[in-house]
Structure 1
Amino acid sequence: MPRGLQLAFIAIGLVIIGALLFYIWRQSKLLNQQRLAQKKTEEFQAQRRDKMVESIRIIALAVEEKQVEYSEACLRLKGLLDYVDPSLLNKAPFEVFQTVHDKIQHMPTHEARKNTDSRTIRKLDKERLAVEQTHATEIREAASALKHHRFDD
């Protein structure tokens, strides 16, 4: 084989090796970026979950101290538990949050409440207070249990 052809094959081989090394380096860099992004996402989710668990405990304490209406606490706790541990909403004593939520979710809140006539609001408030009274003991017991519940990952 002529020497020029050998040098050409060597040069082509070196170019291919260089291109493969560049490709490997680029893929490695992308993989590291993906791992870093995944780690940041997991850390953010863990912090978010921890804050939600803290909110659950604060609301549960507020229920025990009678600093919040039971209906509002149930709505908030149901929403937080949907994210943190939805299976709790089907277990005693926590299912009361789902029960109360289902009974009052049709009621307007925030801006919708402001835009509803006062007679309807009084009727809905009466209905809401009746639901609260019916489930008051269960709500307090569930809130107390939530304060001490271990939310494991």
Structure 2
Amino acid sequence: MPQWLQWSLIIAGAIAITVLLGFIRRQISILADNRRRKQKAEAFQAKRRQDMIDSIRVIAMAVEENQIEYSEACLRIKGLLDHVAPELMERAPFRVFMEVYEQLRHMPTHQARQDTEVRFVEKMDKERFEVEERHADEIRRAATAIRNHAF
């Protein structure tokens, strides 16, 4: 084999090695970036979940201290449990949050409530207070149970 061919093959091999090393470095960098992004997203999700659990506990304490209307507490806890532990709403005593939600979900809230006729709002409030009264003991027991629940 002529010497010029040998040197050409050696140079081509060195170039191929250099290109492959650059490709490997780039892939390692991409993998490291993906790992960092994944860890950051997992940390964000864990913090978000813990914040929701803390919110559930604060609302439950407010129920125990009679600082919040039971209907509002049920709606808020149900919404948070949908993200944290939806399976809890199928079990006693937590089922009451879903039951109250189901009975009240047709009622307007926020701006829709403000835009609704006063007599209709009063009628809805009466219905809401009846639901609260009917489930008051269950709601208090569920609030205590959820505040002490290990998520």
Mark the runs of 5 or more structure 2 residues left unpaired by the alignment: none
- Aligned residue for 1:53, secondary structure, equals helix
% same residue: 53
Instruction: Note if 1:74 corresponds to 2:74.
Output: yes
Counterpart in 2 of 1:5?
A: 5
Counterpart in 2 of 1:88?
A: 88
Code of the residue aligned with 2:6 in structure 1: it is: Q
Q: TM-score, normalised by structure 1?
A: 0.97
Code of the residue aligned with 1:147 in structure 2: it is: R
Instruction: Output aligned runs, 1:1-153, within 5 Å.
Output: 1-151=1-151
Deviation >2 Å, runs of 4+: none
Residue 104 of structure 1 deviates from its aligned partner by 0.4
Residues in 2 aligned to 1:49 and 1:131: alpha-carbon distance in whole angstroms: 30
Residue 147 of structure 1 deviates from its aligned partner by 1.1
Code of the residue aligned with 1:70 in structure 2: it is: Y
Residues in 2 aligned to 1:127 and 1:141: alpha-carbon distance in whole angstroms: 22
Residues in 2 aligned to 1:123 and 1:143: alpha-carbon distance in whole angstroms: 27
RMSD (Å) for aligned C-alpha atoms:
0.5
Residues in 2 aligned to 1:13 and 1:55: alpha-carbon distance in whole angstroms: 62
CA deviations 1:55-106 (Å, max 9, x no partner) are: 1110000000000000000000001111110100000000000000011011
Mark the runs of 5 or more structure 1 residues left unpaired by the alignment: none
Residues in 1 aligned to 2:127 and 2:10: alpha-carbon distance in whole angstroms: 86
Q: TM-score, normalised by structure 2?
A: 0.99
CA deviations 1:7-64 (Å, max 9, x no partner) are: 1011111111111100000000000000000000011111111111111110000000
Residues in 2 aligned to 1:105 and 1:21: alpha-carbon distance in whole angstroms: 61
